[in-house]
Structure 1
Amino acid sequence: RALDDLVRSGKVRYIGCSNYPAWRLGQALAASERLGISRYDSVQPRYNLLYREIETELLPLCRNEGLGVIVYNPIAGGFLSGKYKKGDDPWEGSRFQLGTAGKRYQQRYWDDAYFDAVQLLREGLDGRGQAMASVAIAWVLAQPGITAAIVGASSAEQLEPALDAPDLELDDELLELCDNVWLGLPRRSVIEGYR
């Protein structure tokens, strides 16, 4: 009821949740309806070319219920920028070395299958003049039901691919490449990453 009180008092306009699996979000929406209180207007899940598990249940639920989907991690912590190479260790100061979060990023992506997927994307983009990070963000934004993507950057230079992404044209060949990047990866648990 605390969130409902904030909405009714005019202190917030919309409420959302982060890292809810579809079943948990469905429960919350049903409870809001049953109790006659404000419901979630948006959800914030992880989503990128390497992690698409939300497509099976969460995205269809959000489209059906009219919820905004504001995804985070669209370039997989920089992994989809192509700057990390197979066989190398993550360098000091990178997202993959930042304490507990760094360990989580390594568990998610620092694996030969993921390096191979990034290499496939790199080779497919060769000669196209498109930055990997821009393509990764543009692909996320082009998916049905995605409202926006949260992009982090530690420099103005890192922000450039995000600024280029909305204007990037994704032709059929590029969309097929993006699908192939994911199809070669092992499937992960739908609840991985949820808290």
Structure 2
Amino acid sequence: MEYRYLGRSGLMVSCLSLGGWVTYGGQVGPEVAQSCMKTAFDNGINFFDTAEVYSGGQCEIDMGVAIRKFGWKRSDIVISTKLFWGGKGPNDRGLSRKHIIEGTDACLKRLQLDYVDLLYAHRPDPDTPMEEIVRAFNYVIEKGKAFYWGTSEWSAQQITEAHAVAERLHLIAPLMEQPQYNMFHRDRVEKEYLPLYKIYGMGTTIWSPLASGLLSGKYNEGVPPDSRLAIEENAVMKRLRDSLESEDGQAKIRKVVAMGEIAQQLGCTPAQLALAWCLKNPNVSSVITGASRPSQIEENVKCLKVVPLLTDDLMESIEAILTNRPALDYNFRSS
């Protein structure tokens, strides 16, 4: 396993991490979640991601049970959770000081932990003043309930505003952002955030590296009944499922088929190629993966052997298939 510094901090996270969205507490039971987390840990993954909204908090509960069951040394794991959608009450959502502090306490109770390493603002909150948000996260960190705070799906402007507030008040600024990033969703990570990596040393823990499984090739011939996109009660999955029938969805599938040919040449799976492609970006601290069975984790970890195979020429071949590079003056070359 490769470990990377999380932005401009001394914290090291495994470049592949395991997240619980949709899966743990919902799609699979606690025993499967425990098996997946154990397999991840045994393969060098030290970073586990959840959120208060995942399966109504059950994901945090299941992950917390697994952590206690295996007796992992706390310094050997990095745990993150996210705040925004904490319940149905008027003060159970958003980023008010009240919800950030009470929501953090509720998360820790479900996780059975004294603190989390990373605490995210799951979405921006235009109804709460930025100063209130920054002060609240700073308070939580000073109370020892979290070590670092960050954002998820915030714009560069909103992140910059948070840093400006923190600098003016001599408070702790956000360290990391958790954006969606994959071969089909690139603009924010590769273009909008570019100044933030240089100015603030921002780290990224990216989600949906396989575009909800689309880049794995599993949907080339339709939607398998045991896949995420087959979950009827999840509105996000339903929207993605319906999008596959559109002209744009079919065009993406054709690109996935072409990417599969490159993967075959490299002796890897399309999923491993897609994960390796994300890891090739030096501004990615960790790629959050999902898994409903341990074997998926074992397969995902093999992508680490693919990264060195992604030469400049091969990356250009991939670009020729994707045709969606957002910034012509930016690439993943190490020079």
Per the TM superposition, whether the score is higher than 0.5 is yes
Q: How does 1:23-62 map to 2 (within 5 A)?
A: 23-54=157-188, 55-62=190-197
1:91 aligns to what? 224
Q: Per-residue deviation at 1:27?
A: 1.5
1:181 aligns to what? 321
Q: Verify the 8 A CA contact 2:181 2:278 in the aligned structure 1.
A: yes
Do residues 140 (structure 1) and 275 (structure 2) align? no
2:204 counterpart letter in structure 1: V
Q: 1:31 to 1:184 in 2, by over 3 A?
A: closer
| 2-structure distance, mates of 1:75, 1:136 | 6
2:212 counterpart letter in structure 1: G
- The correspondence for 2:301, drawn from 151, 155, 163, is 163
Q: Verify the 8 A CA contact 2:229 2:240 in the aligned structure 1.
A: yes
Structure with more of its chain in strand, by fraction: 2
Q: 1:184 to 1:119 in 2, by over 3 A?
A: farther
Structure 2: 5+ residue stretches without partners: 1-134, 327-335
1:14 aligns to what? 148
Deviations for 1:55-101, whole angstroms, at most 9, x for unmatched residues?
Answer: 11114323431111110111111111111115x3x233421132212
- The two structures, once aligned, show a CA RMSD in angstroms of 2.1
Q: Per-residue deviation at 1:160?
A: 2.6
Aligned residue pairs, count = 184
Q: Which runs of 4+ in 1 moved over 6 A?
A: none
Q: 1:108 to 1:141 in 2, by over 3 A?
A: farther
Give the TM-score of the pair, scaled to structure 1.
0.84
- The correspondence for 2:204, drawn from 41, 46, 69, is 69
1:118 aligns to what? 256
Q: 1:60 to 1:120 in 2, by over 3 A?
A: farther
Do residues 172 (structure 1) and 312 (structure 2) align? yes
1:97 counterpart letter in structure 2: A
| 2-structure distance, mates of 1:171, 1:109 | 31
Q: Per-residue deviation at 1:53?
A: 1.2
Structure with more of its chain in helix, by fraction: 1
Deviations for 1:104-156, whole angstroms, at most 9, x for unmatched residues?
Answer: 43366661121111012012233331111111111111102111110001112
| 2-structure distance, mates of 1:71, 1:102 | 18
1:128 aligns to what? 266
1:3 aligns to what? 137
2:38 aligns to what? none
| 1-structure distance, mates of 2:187, 2:296 | 26
Single out whichever of 175-184 and 72-81 deviates more from structure 2: 175-184
Give the TM-score of the pair, scaled to structure 2.
0.51
Q: Determine which structure has greater relative contact order: mean sequence separation of CA pairs < 8 Å that are 6+ residues apart, divided by chain length.
A: 1
Structure 1: 5+ residue stretches without partners: 188-195
Q: 1:158 to 1:109 in 2, by over 3 A?
A: farther
| 1-structure distance, mates of 2:209, 2:225 | 22
Provide the secondary structure at the position in 1 that maps to 2:148: coil
